[in-house]
Amino acid sequence: MTKAVLPEENIKLQASISSKEDAIKTAGQVLVDGGYTDASYVEKMFEREEISSTFMGNFVAIPHGTDDAKKHVHHSGISIIQVPEGVDFGGGNIVKLVFGIAGKGDEHLEMLSKIAIICSEEENIERMVQASSKEELLAIFDEVSE
């Protein structure tokens, strides 16, 4: 993962999130603040969530925009919101890591693949949930990149 796609500023540790909506809004706002998308992309993230849940299992959700949201993406980026206390993503599905994704063109597929590889190991998820620094969390991505 390049620093341009996932710089430290895109990571929020120890976030206190009260709802699925708050989680999606927070993940999306990081992308807006970083200049990856315009503000309307966040609305497309909510639309996508209505179509089907972005809860992936293993305490992970990957909210992202609909296909027609691509016009709102300036360049690819990822946000990570760490929610150690967990937030209910509906149906009792608890999420502790929220990965907001904005992909230019088909770049989101590569980003989703990398996140899926990292999150296929429960140990990696636990390490990210427990990470006490942004560097520690990013190091897990670097390990998998090698």
Say if 27 falls within a structural domain.
yes
- What is the pLDDT at residue 1? 56
Q: Which residues contact 58 (CB under 8 A, 6 or more apart)?
A: 119, 122, 125
pLDDT, tens digit, for every residue of 70-110?
A: 899 999 999 999 999 999 999 999 999 999 999 988 877 88
What CATH number is attached to the domain comprising 27?
3.40.930.10
Mean residue pLDDT across the chain:
92
Tell me, yes or no, whether 39 lies in a domain.
yes
Q: Domain count for the chain, please give it.
A: 1
d(CA 138, CA 11): 9
H or E, element range at 6: none
Q: 1 in a domain, yes or no?
A: no
Residue 77: how many other CB atoms lie within 10 Å: 25
Six-digit token pair at 100?
């907001």
CB contact burial 108-119 (16+ within 10 A = b; e otherwise): beebbebbeebb
Please report the pLDDT score of residue 113 as a whole number.
86
Residue 68 lies in a domain: yes
Q: Would 2 be classed as within a structural domain?
A: no
In a domain, 3, yes or no: no
State pLDDT tens for residues 117-146: 899 999 999 999 999 999 999 998 888 765
Instruction: Please state the pTM of the whole predicted model.
Output: 0.94
Element counts in the chain: helices (H) and strands (E): 5, 5
Residues with active-site annotation: 64
